[in-house]
Structure 1
Amino acid sequence: MTWFFFCVGLLIVAYFTYGKIVEKIFVINPERKTPAQTMADGVDYVKMSNTKVFLIQLLNIAGLGPIFGPILGALYGPVAMLWIVFGCIFAGAVHDYFSGMLSVRSNGASVPTVVGDHLGVWAKQFMNIFALVLLVLVGVVFVLGPAKLLAGLTSMDVAIWVGIIFAYYIIATLVSIDKIIGRLYPFFGALLLFMSFGLTIGLMFSDREFYSVGLDFFTNYDPSGLPIWPLLFVTISCGAISGFHATQSPLMARCIQDEKSGRMIFYGAMILEGIIGLIWCTLGLSFYDSPELFKAALDAGSPSGVVHEISIALLGSVGGIIAILGVVILPITSGDTAFRSARLIIADFFKLSQKEIIKRLYIAIPLFVVGFIISKVDFNIVWRYFGWANQTTAAIMLWAASAYMYKRGKFHWITTIPAIFMTAVVIAYLANAKIGFNLDMSISTIMGVVGAFVCLGMFFRIKKA
């Protein structure tokens, strides 16, 4: 547990140090009016307190990613914790800060518009399609995951829970953001905190250690022999860096009171999500006596089965159920805003006002029909495509942030270096994976590195303002 608390400490210190550096390089203007003040519409542009916006941002971005991803990533061993810490500080939190603040500077624009403003029209049109695909995949993934957990707690079938969750999504997507999301999320946040701290305390008193082998960052413990590169950096997404967050940050960019609250809301929420990821990664590393037993538990019950088993074992029946409910609300509170973001992206594209509910229905109904159809596809297949699409979106958003900085003569490397790394990851993953081109790993790695530096060369052709 000493290593766990050390990693948590690094994340907290990073918020007050590196987060401040990022904010200083960006250069905020506390006196500048935000979209919530200049474009208030009572539906999506609604001014809310910093505490409420922070909680909503955290619950929006913290879906199944910081739970399922770190659990699956823990198969590789303690190296997974390194990626969560350094990925979160230097890539994920920076990504979230820029995706939020650039949206604030663009009147609360969705991610395709933000990308288009800084990378050009072709990038905007590509992101319109790509972001929609990602958001629908997210919505589906975040229906199936909680539905399986709830089915394990009750006698109701998974299909029934899928229908109930979809019904909630429809309502939450259509009504004003402060009617359901703004009122329920503080309660959901309390459940989330109980889950996080309760399981941490339960693990502290369980006397469990990392696979009984200690800290060995240079050993791949995965019983299947899956390579750490590039799979770890796609498997653990939301706990370290996630493109899905770029689709969610504009929702809160439309609600923040001033630019100085951006570091707490965007950078800070990602740091807290990294801590949640560390908790579940540590649980995965410590709960089972060996990687083989851990892999067998995953094969038998998927990550949702592992969540159920660990929660009940560490906190008992009542505490375990509360913890599981804390896990359930994460994907549900991200799924509803995923569909909400998709609605807003389509509305921006067609320049369709969303003040009247009938116009929201024009977009929402087809979205949910498509989502329900995809929910019938095998969960593991949907998760793999979601992972790649998620990290590709993150890479594109980082390049857009770099372009914004480069054009203005600012120190762009704080976003360019993680953009280069994530570009290499997603290209190598697509080249090697069975859902991609199924090429040899060495060839895939070369393609990833070359592709990343080709993107860097194209980046430097951008004209400075």
Structure 2
Amino acid sequence: MLTLLGGIALLVLGYFTYGRYIEKNFSIDPERTTPAEALKDGYDFVPMSKSKNAIIELLNIAGTGPIFGPIMGALYGPVAYIWIIVGCIFGGAVHDYMVGMISLRNDGAHLPELTSKYLGKPVKHIVNIFAMLLLMLVATVFVTSPANLIASITPDWMTIGIITLLIFAYYLISTILPIDKAMGKVYPWFGAVLIISTIAIGISLLTGGHNLPELTMGAMQNFHPKGTPIFPAIFFTISCGAISGFHATQAPMVSRTSTNEREGRFLFYGMMIAEGVIAMIWAGASMALFDGQTLSQMIDAGTPSAVVNQVSTMLLGNVFGTVAIIGVIVLPISSGLSAFRSLRTILADYMSIKQDSMKKILMMTIPLFVISFFLTKVDFNLIWRYFNWANQVTAVIALLMSTRYLYLKNKNYLVTLLPATFMLYACVVYILSEPIGFRMGLQTATYLVGLVATVAIMALYWTTGVKQKVALSPESELLNDHLPIGTFSSIDAVPAAVAAE
């Protein structure tokens, strides 16, 4: 119990201390006009309140990641707590804040446009591929996982196939609506269900006499029943609860609806901390209610949704447990919707297809849904592995972009460079060792090759950065917090006030 409560306290403390430092290092300007006001179009750029933006950001980034990931991460034992806490405060929350705020400074640009500006145009094509692959995998995962959860609490005639089609129908309707109608009206209700159910799970876990594992010196070991090494696997298993590249595709959506830079720490850093709290509760519940072998068998039998069902009903009973399951369901449904919405806008920007008519919106949206529908037929665990790989590579790219931004502006860039370097090494080792990569397995040679490759990549990155900074002039576009006019295909014209700047 002390570990769980202490971990949550550290996450909250991190928001008020390290989060404040990250905000100060970025140097916010509360008087600056935001994209929501300067580029208001009634569809994607719509001024909304801080509370609505916070709920949208939380539901967009959460999905089943901070629940499914920690459930699978619980197989490693209490060491999973360490990665959630440290990863969230120093990695994930910094990652989300920087991408969100840099996007806000650059007219609500998505990650590909930001990397094009700060890392060079050739990188934009690579990032577009990774971002679109990631979003397609996320969207598919966030159709499959809620379908399984809904099927577990509905009559037998509501098959997974029917539920999947209904979810796609909801996504289609919501994707083509203005953001304040698609999310602003519904998400506060979704958020209320999520928050209440999460609090209920946490209180029941703490007051129900359950044996919560503590993080002691004796528990500082790998308890995975299959012997899966902690490094690098745990950093890909627990992603959305600690650091996730998917968030880099979602933060720009809220940067287009925010009305003051002062709200950034709460919206981006704070909502990642909230996700970390959710992850702590579900990791603790999984470890407290099941031994590693049982937990592993439940996950292997299908998806972690079976664990969600058991945890909810065991802690809250059938009635309130069902409400808790609904609270979990709203996470992937909301994130799936935002994934499709982001995927459509990124693809439209890349192909220079203005999203100024329903015909063009549907032309971009429907093919994406068709591809995702066929992907739902693929084994969930296989998709999850590819999702985790693409997810963390995207996180590394986002952190490197953020580092370059801070470096060029003479800010403390170590706050993003250090987590970027660590995650890059984890990604390289993962790709070298896993079946989806070079199949080297985890041996000494793998770690050494991974180290050499990481050093080489970072040396190239640093060299290009130094050359870029030396060549800067005071009026350089890189020091101007606006993208060139006409960057977005979905915007017909940039207001005169912005053009003048």
TM normalised by structure 1 equals 0.98
Matching residue of 1:270 = 272
Superposition deviation, residue 217 in structure 1: 4.2
- Superposition pairs of residues 31-46 of structure 1, within 5 angstroms: 31-46=31-46
Shift in Å, 1:210: 3.9
The answer as to whether partners of 1:424 and 1:449 remain within 8 angstroms in 2 is yes
Deviates more, 1:420-429 or 1:290-299: 290-299
SS at the partner of 2:304?
Answer: helix
| CA distance, structure 1, for counterparts of residue 91 and residue 429 of structure 2 | 18
Confirm or deny: 8 A CA contact 1:43 1:355 kept in the other structure: no
Compute the displacement of 1:301 (Å): 4.6
Match of 1:329 in 2: 330
Other-structure match for 1:375: 376
- Work out whether residues 23 and 265 of structure 2, in 8 Å CA contact, stay in contact via their aligned partners in 1: yes
Letter in 1 for 2:104: V
Deviation at 1:215, TM superposition (A): 6.5
**Distance 1:148-1:27 versus aligned 2 partners, 3 A rule:** same
Letter in 1 for 2:417: T
The match for 2:366 is 365
Q: Please tell me the residue identity of whatever aligns with 1:106.
A: N
> Does the 8 Å CA contact 1:403/1:459 hold for their aligned counterparts?
no
The alignment status of 1:353 with 2:327, answered yes or no, reads no
1:448 is displaced (CA, Å) by 2.5
Report the Cα offset of residue 460 of structure 1: 1.8
Determine if the alignment matches structure 1 residue 25 to structure 2 residue 25: yes
Q: Which moved more, 1:300-309 or 1:132-141?
A: 300-309
Q: Which moved further from structure 2: 202-211 or 218-227?
A: 202-211
Residues 421 and 452, structure 1, Cα contact 8 Å, conserved in 2: no
Instruction: Please tell me whether the aligned partners of residues 434 and 441 of structure 2 are also in contact (alpha carbons under 8 angstroms).
Output: no
CA distance in structure 1 between the aligned counterparts of 2:16 and 2:296, rounded to whole angstroms:
37
Equivalent position to 1:164, from 163, 166, 175: 166
Q: Provide structure 2 residue ranges, at least 5 long, that are not aligned to the other structure.
A: 473-501
Name the structure 2 match of 1:189.
Answer: 191
Counterpart amino acid of residue 372 in structure 1? F
How far off is 1:255 after superposition?
0.3
Offset at residue 436 of structure 1 (A): 1.5
Q: Report if the CA contact (8 A) 1:423-1:448 is conserved.
A: no
**Greater CA drift, 88-97 or 351-360:** 351-360
- For residues 167 and 76 of structure 2, the distance between their equivalents in structure 1, rounded to whole angstroms, comes to 33
Note if contact 1:91-1:241 (Cα within 8 Å) is conserved in structure 2.
yes
Q: Note the residue ranges of structure 1 that are not aligned, 5 or more in a row.
A: none
Report the counterpart of residue 115 of structure 2 in structure 1.
115
SS in 2 for 1:199: helix
Q: 1:176 aligns with which of 178, 185, 210?
A: 178
Bigger mean CA offset, 153-162 vs 294-303: 294-303
How far apart in 1 are the matches of 2:312 and 2:380? 22
* Aligned-residue offset at 1:211: 5.7
Q: Deviations over 1:416-464 (max 9, x none)?
A: 0000001001111111111211103122222332222222212221121
Structure 2 counterpart of 1:143: 143
SS in structure 2 at match of 1:183: coil
Q: Counterparts of 1:13-412 in structure 2 under 5 Å?
A: 13-154=13-154, 155=156, 156-210=158-212, 216-288=218-290, 290-412=291-413
The equivalent residue for 1:437 is 438
- Equivalent pairs counted in the alignment come to 464
CA drift at 1:375: 1.2
Aligned residue number for residue 414 of structure 2: 413
Deviation at 1:285, TM superposition (A): 1.1
Q: Report the equivalent of 2:494.
A: none
Measured on the aligned residues, the alpha-carbon RMSD in Å equals 1.3
Please give the alpha-carbon distance, in whole angstroms, between the structure 1 residues aligned to 2:14 and 2:131: 29
Could you tell me whether the CA contact under 8 Å between 1:70 and 1:277 is conserved in 2? yes
Q: Secondary structure at the match of 1:223?
A: coil
Larger deviation: 49-58 or 300-309? 300-309
1:210/1:285 contact within 8 Å kept:
yes
How many Å separate the matches in 2 of 1:235 and 1:451? 23
Is contact 1:398–1:419 with CA below 8 Å preserved after alignment?
A: yes
- Whole-angstrom distance in 2 between the partners of 1:212 and 1:177: 43
Pair member with larger Rg: 2
Residue 203 of structure 2 aligns with an amino acid whose one-letter code is I
* Distance in structure 1 (CA, Å) of the matches to 2:100 and 2:272: 12
Q: How far does residue 214 in structure 1 lie from its aligned partner after superposition?
A: 6.3
Mean Cα displacement is larger for which, 324-333 or 404-413? Answer: 404-413
Instruction: Find the aligned partners of 1:217 and 1:108 in 2 and give their Cα distance.
Output: 45
Q: Which amino acid aligns with 2:233?
A: L
**What is the rounded CA distance, in whole Å, between the counterparts of 2:242 and 2:61 in structure 1?**
12
Which letter maps to 2:193?
A: L
SS at match of 1:322: helix
Cα distance in 1 for residues equivalent to 2:214 and 2:88: 27
CA contact (8 A) 2:303 2:380 kept: no
Q: How far 1:202 moved relative to its partner?
A: 1.1
Alpha-carbon distance in structure 1 between the residues aligned to 2:173 and 2:367: 15
* Change in CA separation of 1:210 and 1:434 when aligned onto 2, cut-off 3 Å: farther
Please say if residues 34 and 257 of structure 1, whose CA atoms lie closer than 8 Å, have aligned partners that are also in contact.
Answer: yes
- Determine if contact 2:103/2:114 at 8 Å carries over to the other structure: yes
Distance 1:71 1:400 in 2: 31
Instruction: Give yes or no for contact 1:211–1:291 (8 Å, CA) kept in 2.
Output: no
Could you tell me how far apart the structure 2 residues matched to 1:310 and 1:210 are? 14
Q: Distance in 2 between matches of 1:205 and 1:13?
A: 24
**Contact 1:427/1:448 (<8 A) preserved:** yes
Report Cα offsets for 1:226-266 as digits up to 9, x if no partner. 00000000000000000000000000010000111111100
- Structure 1 residues 283-342: Cα deviation after superposition (integer angstroms, max 9, x where no partner): 111111x22222223233531001001101110111000000000000000000000001
Q: Is the 8 A contact 2:80 2:234 kept in 1?
A: yes
Q: Which deviations, in whole Å up to 9, do the C-alpha atoms of 1:199-238 show, x marking residues without a partner? A: 0111112222246996744211111010000000000000
Return the alpha-carbon distance in structure 2 between the equivalents of residues 452 and 420 of structure 1.
8
Q: Is the 8 A contact 2:303 2:381 kept in 1?
A: no
CA distance in 2, matches of 1:231, 1:332: 26
